[in-house]
Amino acid sequence: MDVMEAIKLRRSIRGYKDKPVEEEKLKIILESARLSPSARNQQNRKFIVVRDPDIRQKLIDASYGQKFVGQAPVVIVACATQTSHIMPCGEASYPIDLAIAVDHITLSAVEQGLGTCWIGAFSQDEVKKLLNIPEDVRVVALLPLGYPEVIPDPRPRKSIEELVAYDKWQ
């Protein structure tokens, strides 16, 4: 599968089969996150792989009742271990660095025949408490990972003309 095919096939999956994710596939997906770029190559991130069914069930409450979070056989919790760096453009680097890594995960998962859903609706404090995450670490995303029950149809997208300008804002 090439990258463009993975991009076209990626969907937010909100229902997972009761089938474990093979260790080899998980390693490939985690390797794709490890290889993702970061500001100043600092790699200030950590990924917690949650497979324990009891913890996954508690993540449902921490994610405001999103049942599919606990239904997935794996939840990857993407964390920023250092959050103070501000890039010259004025933006904090950690959300961007983690967004790139998470996108690598989502596309690698598609290539492996798996699905994910990028979850930003969760209680930072509850997730940290549940997973024993230090106070100075930021949880950026929860990523349920597993075999999709159903692959939804593609969502509508704006045209390229609406999204792209050349040489200056138009």
pLDDT-derived band at 75 (thresholds 50, 70, 90) equals very high
DSSP three-state, residue 62: helix
Task: For residue range 85-133, list pLDDT tens digits in order.
Answer: 999 999 999 999 999 999 999 999 999 999 999 999 999 999 999 999 9
- Residue 88: its pLDDT value, please? 97
In this predicted structure, what is the pLDDT of residue 32? 98
- Binned at pLDDT 50, 70 and 90, residue 150 comes out as very high
Q: Which parts of the chain fold into alpha helices (H)? A: 3-9, 23-34, 53-62, 67-71, 93-111, 124-131, 160-163
CA-based end-to-end distance of the chain? 35
Read off the pTM.
Answer: 0.96
| CATH top class, domain 3-150 | alpha beta
Quick one: tokens of 6?
């993975």
pLDDT of residue 81: 98
